[in-house]
Amino acid sequence: MASQAKELMMRLAELMEATMEQTEHPFPDLALTPREVKVMIHLGDRGETTMTELADAVGTPLSTVTRIADRLERKGMIARSRSDRDRRIVVVSTSDQGQALHNAVREQQLAVSAKILEILTSEERETLVALLTKAAAGLRSGNG
Protein backbone atom coordinates (compact mmCIF):
# COMPACT_ATOMS: atom_id res chain seq x y z
CA MET A 1 0.00 0.00 0.00
CA ALA A 2 2.86 2.41 0.84
CA SER A 3 4.43 1.99 -2.60
CA GLN A 4 1.04 2.53 -4.25
CA ALA A 5 0.51 5.66 -2.16
CA LYS A 6 3.91 6.96 -3.26
CA GLU A 7 3.14 6.13 -6.89
CA LEU A 8 -0.22 7.89 -6.63
CA MET A 9 1.40 10.94 -5.04
CA MET A 10 3.96 11.11 -7.84
CA ARG A 11 1.35 10.72 -10.60
CA LEU A 12 -0.94 13.35 -9.06
CA ALA A 13 1.99 15.77 -8.77
CA GLU A 14 2.93 15.02 -12.38
CA LEU A 15 -0.64 15.62 -13.51
CA MET A 16 -0.82 18.91 -11.59
CA GLU A 17 2.49 20.06 -13.07
CA ALA A 18 1.37 19.17 -16.60
CA THR A 19 -1.93 20.95 -15.98
CA MET A 20 -0.16 24.09 -14.77
CA GLU A 21 2.06 24.04 -17.87
CA GLN A 22 -1.08 24.10 -20.02
CA THR A 23 -2.63 27.13 -18.33
CA GLU A 24 -1.79 30.78 -18.06
CA HIS A 25 -2.88 33.21 -15.39
CA PRO A 26 -5.49 35.37 -17.14
CA PHE A 27 -4.50 38.41 -15.04
CA PRO A 28 -0.76 37.97 -14.29
CA ASP A 29 -0.44 41.32 -12.49
CA LEU A 30 -2.83 40.21 -9.72
CA ALA A 31 -0.52 37.68 -8.04
CA LEU A 32 -3.32 35.78 -6.31
CA THR A 33 -2.46 33.33 -3.53
CA PRO A 34 -3.81 29.75 -3.66
CA ARG A 35 -6.35 30.62 -0.94
CA GLU A 36 -7.50 33.68 -2.86
CA VAL A 37 -7.96 31.53 -5.97
CA LYS A 38 -9.96 29.00 -3.94
CA VAL A 39 -12.28 31.75 -2.67
CA MET A 40 -12.65 33.21 -6.18
CA ILE A 41 -13.49 29.81 -7.66
CA HIS A 42 -16.14 29.23 -4.98
CA LEU A 43 -17.71 32.66 -5.40
CA GLY A 44 -17.66 32.45 -9.18
CA ASP A 45 -19.28 29.02 -9.14
CA ARG A 46 -21.92 29.70 -6.51
CA GLY A 47 -22.53 33.43 -6.63
CA GLU A 48 -23.36 35.72 -3.73
CA THR A 49 -22.92 34.16 -0.31
CA THR A 50 -22.42 35.19 3.29
CA MET A 51 -18.93 35.33 4.75
CA THR A 52 -19.83 32.53 7.19
CA GLU A 53 -21.08 30.28 4.36
CA LEU A 54 -17.94 31.07 2.36
CA ALA A 55 -15.67 30.16 5.28
CA ASP A 56 -17.50 26.86 5.73
CA ALA A 57 -17.42 26.09 2.01
CA VAL A 58 -13.67 26.63 1.63
CA GLY A 59 -12.86 25.00 4.98
CA THR A 60 -11.13 28.05 6.41
CA PRO A 61 -11.77 29.97 9.66
CA LEU A 62 -13.95 33.06 9.27
CA SER A 63 -11.14 35.34 10.49
CA THR A 64 -8.85 34.02 7.74
CA VAL A 65 -11.54 34.35 5.07
CA THR A 66 -12.11 37.93 6.23
CA ARG A 67 -8.42 38.73 5.63
CA ILE A 68 -8.56 37.00 2.23
CA ALA A 69 -11.69 39.02 1.37
CA ASP A 70 -9.90 42.23 2.43
CA ARG A 71 -7.11 41.50 -0.05
CA LEU A 72 -9.49 40.48 -2.84
CA GLU A 73 -11.57 43.60 -2.31
CA ARG A 74 -8.45 45.79 -2.55
CA LYS A 75 -7.58 44.00 -5.81
CA GLY A 76 -11.06 44.73 -7.17
CA MET A 77 -12.04 41.05 -7.37
CA ILE A 78 -14.99 41.02 -4.94
CA ALA A 79 -17.60 43.28 -3.40
CA ARG A 80 -18.93 43.06 0.15
CA SER A 81 -22.16 44.49 1.47
CA ARG A 82 -24.57 44.12 4.37
CA SER A 83 -27.57 41.83 4.03
CA ASP A 84 -30.90 43.58 3.47
CA ARG A 85 -32.56 41.13 5.87
CA ASP A 86 -30.02 41.35 8.68
CA ARG A 87 -27.46 44.18 8.75
CA ARG A 88 -25.13 42.05 10.92
CA ILE A 89 -24.58 39.64 8.03
CA VAL A 90 -21.89 40.43 5.45
CA VAL A 91 -22.59 39.23 1.92
CA VAL A 92 -19.78 38.76 -0.61
CA SER A 93 -19.84 38.34 -4.40
CA THR A 94 -17.48 38.64 -7.34
CA SER A 95 -17.03 41.98 -9.05
CA ASP A 96 -17.19 42.14 -12.84
CA GLN A 97 -13.40 41.80 -12.95
CA GLY A 98 -13.55 38.92 -10.46
CA GLN A 99 -16.18 37.10 -12.50
CA ALA A 100 -14.10 37.62 -15.65
CA LEU A 101 -11.11 36.06 -13.86
CA HIS A 102 -13.24 33.15 -12.67
CA ASN A 103 -14.64 32.54 -16.15
CA ALA A 104 -11.17 32.62 -17.73
CA VAL A 105 -9.76 30.18 -15.16
CA ARG A 106 -12.70 27.80 -15.54
CA GLU A 107 -12.41 27.94 -19.34
CA GLN A 108 -8.73 26.95 -19.13
CA GLN A 109 -9.50 24.18 -16.65
CA LEU A 110 -12.19 22.82 -18.94
CA ALA A 111 -9.83 22.86 -21.93
CA VAL A 112 -7.14 20.96 -20.01
CA SER A 113 -9.71 18.45 -18.73
CA ALA A 114 -10.91 17.89 -22.29
CA LYS A 115 -7.30 17.23 -23.40
CA ILE A 116 -6.93 14.61 -20.68
CA LEU A 117 -10.18 12.91 -21.65
CA GLU A 118 -9.30 12.92 -25.36
CA ILE A 119 -6.48 10.41 -24.82
CA LEU A 120 -8.73 7.95 -22.99
CA THR A 121 -11.31 5.51 -24.30
CA SER A 122 -14.94 6.01 -23.36
CA GLU A 123 -14.70 3.26 -20.75
CA GLU A 124 -11.48 4.72 -19.30
CA ARG A 125 -13.13 8.16 -19.04
CA GLU A 126 -16.08 6.72 -17.12
CA THR A 127 -13.75 4.78 -14.83
CA LEU A 128 -11.50 7.81 -14.21
CA VAL A 129 -14.43 10.07 -13.30
CA ALA A 130 -15.96 7.39 -11.06
CA LEU A 131 -12.68 6.74 -9.22
CA LEU A 132 -11.94 10.44 -8.72
CA THR A 133 -15.48 10.99 -7.45
CA LYS A 134 -15.12 8.11 -5.00
CA ALA A 135 -11.71 9.31 -3.79
CA ALA A 136 -12.91 12.88 -3.24
CA ALA A 137 -16.04 11.72 -1.41
CA GLY A 138 -13.97 9.41 0.79
CA LEU A 139 -11.56 12.16 1.75
CA ARG A 140 -14.37 14.61 2.48
CA SER A 141 -16.22 12.13 4.68
CA GLY A 142 -13.07 11.24 6.61
CA ASN A 143 -13.05 7.66 5.34
CA GLY A 144 -10.13 8.16 2.97
Rounded to 10 degrees, the C-alpha dihedral 56/62/64/65 comes to 60
Among 12-16, 27-31, 109-113, 138-142, the range scoring the smallest mean pLDDT is 27-31
What is the set of domains in the chain, with CATH numbers?
28-118 (1.10.10.10)
d(CA 38, CA 94): 13
Q: What angle do CA 86, 100, 104 make, to 5 degrees?
A: 130
pTM reported for the whole predicted model: 0.74
* Structure confidence by residue, pLDDT tens digits, 50-102: 999 999 999 899 999 999 999 999 999 999 999 888 888 999 999 999 999 89
What Cα–Cα distance (Å) separates residue 15 from each residue in 111, 124, 125? 14, 16, 16
- 27 confidence band (pLDDT: 50, 70, 90): low
pLDDT of residue 143: 63
Q: Distance between CA atoms of 129 and 114, rounded to whole angstroms? A: 12
Q: Smallest Cα–Cα separation from 45: which of 90, 105, 111? A: 105
Cα–Cα distance for residue pair 101/95, rounded to 1 Å? 10
Q: Is the pLDDT of residue 39 over 90?
A: yes
Spatial separation of the C-alpha atoms in residues 33 and 6, rounded to whole Å = 27
